[in-house]
Structures are given as structure tokens and as C-alpha cells.
Amino acid sequence: MSIVIKSEKRHGLGSNASRRLRAQGFVPAVLYGESLPTSALVLSKKDIVGILRLESGENTIFQVSVDDATYDVMIKELQVDTASDELQHVDLIRISMDKPIRVTVPVVHSGEPIGVKTEGGFIDFVTREVEVECLPRAIPESLAIDISELHINQSFKVQAMAAPAGVKVLTDPNTVLVLISLPHKEEEAFPGEKPEGEVAAEEPKEPEVIKKERAEKGEAEEKPEKGGKKEKGEKKESEK
């Protein structure tokens, strides 16, 4: 079943006009492609959000009606405000259902790698999507790969991927999709920390001879000097 959304020609251009449209629940858009003139349109924000929520997402083929004409289209580009996450602008491209097009599709993974399950490794998802070429109705929602046979330091590349009939993968065949790696060593993961079991170096011990000399010097300083002043209350020998 085809999805059809209505649109209107956009007459007011500029940032102020676009701001007013968004405040009313609409989004400014442009439609181009198939050697036809570019049209400035007004779309319902609700319609575009509904399309993006489908499993096919931006690769969804739908129809847009403009005045008395209806076109097969796809979303070519979205502009979103990074601060508010608000949809700002949509680019739509006309497509011909009998001509191949290029799109990007996600890669999904199945299976638990041997390198993770029994060898202590972990999965590094290097590339999560690939570019393909096919007829519009043959666009896959995703491409699946089985990574269960991967060992430590092994990878799954695009060249090993199986694509459905009529779908040509354009991404470089040597592109790594998944890599099974060894965990980093603890001392590498936390630079500056001492490896477990390592004992901090002890301060150099003072030679026994020096320690003995200091002890004797301290005792000498504690003894009163000969003939020194007597403390109060201490009597002379003749007074006893």
C-alpha cells in the first residue's frame, strides 16, 4: 500500500516565513530530480515524522501530491536543530521506479563470535552501514551478517557479505564491518597505575654508622656541660 502525503506550494521564503510554518506544525521542503523543475513545498511535520518512524526510515518510498500531480519520492536529506531536535527542513527527490538508485542501508549482526564466547575477546563494530544500488522497490531494510565463526583478531569484511538478488553493494570490499579484538592490558588501560603485585620502591636505608654517630651526638647534647650553672634548689657540696 502506497503512502501518499499532501503538500502545498510554498510562497513565503526566508527564515521568518519558515519559522512561522514550523510554529504551526508544518515544515518547509524542496522537491527536485528526474529533470523536472525544483519546487518549494510545505509539508505536515506529522507526516514526515510518521515516515521516519517506519522500519525503512529515510529509505521509505512514498508519494507526494503537488497540485494535480503525484510523484514517487524519497527523503534525500533532513535538517534538524541540534539544540532542540526540531525538524527544520526536508529535501525530497523524485525517483523512477524502473531506474536503479543508490542508498545507504544498515548492517545487522547475528551469532555470538567464538572469539568472544570462549577466547575472552570483544566485538568492535567498525562499520554499521553500507551503500547499495538497486531498484527502488528492491531496497532492503538492512543487510544481515553472521559473525559466530569469528576468532580473536579476525574480522568480517564487506567482500564476505551476501546481498539479496538485484542488490549491488558499492562499499569497498575491503571495508571491515566487525573486528574481534583482545581486551587492553590493565596497565595500558590505566596509564600511570602500577601493575598488580608490584611493590613501590623503598626509600634508601641510612647506613648504620651514620645512625650511630647521630645517636651519640644526641646523647652528648642532652648532658649538662661540666661546671655549668646549677638548677634552682641544688646545693653546693660545702653547704650539705
The answer to whether position 204 is within a domain reads: no
3-class DSSP assignment, residue 135: coil
Task: Report if residue 32 sits inside a domain.
Answer: yes
Q: How many domains, the chain? A: 2
Residues 88 and 159 occupy one common structural domain: no
The predicted pLDDT at position 183 comes to 82
Print the domain residue range for 160: 102-189
The pLDDT of residue 230: 46
Residue entry with cell 567464538: 114
Round to whole Å and give the CA distance between 222 and 116.
72
Our measurement of the distance from residue 231's CA atom to the centroid of its chain's CA atoms, rounded to an integer in Å, reads 82
> Is 87 domain-assigned?
yes
Residues 62 and 121 in one domain: no
- Cα torsion 222, 223, 229, 231 to 10°: value is 70
Do residues 120 and 140 share a domain?
A: yes
Q: Does any domain span residue 91?
A: yes
E strand intervals along 45-175: 62-66, 69-80, 87-94, 101-110, 122-125, 129-134, 143-146, 155-157, 168-169
Residues 72 and 154 in one domain: no
CATH no. for residue 41?
2.40.240.10
Distances (CA, A) of 106 to 91, 109, 136, 142, 228: 21, 10, 16, 5, 98
Q: What pLDDT tens digit does each residue of the chain (240 aa) get?
A: 689 999 999 887 788 888 899 999 999 999 999 999 999 999 999 999 999 999 999 999 999 999 889 999 999 999 999 898 899 999 999 999 999 999 999 999 999 999 999 999 999 999 999 999 999 999 999 999 999 999 999 999 999 999 999 999 999 999 999 999 988 764 444 455 554 544 444 555 555 555 555 555 555 555 554 444 444 444 444 444
Q: What is the pLDDT of residue 2?
A: 83
125: CATH: 2.170.120.20
pTM confidence score: 0.68
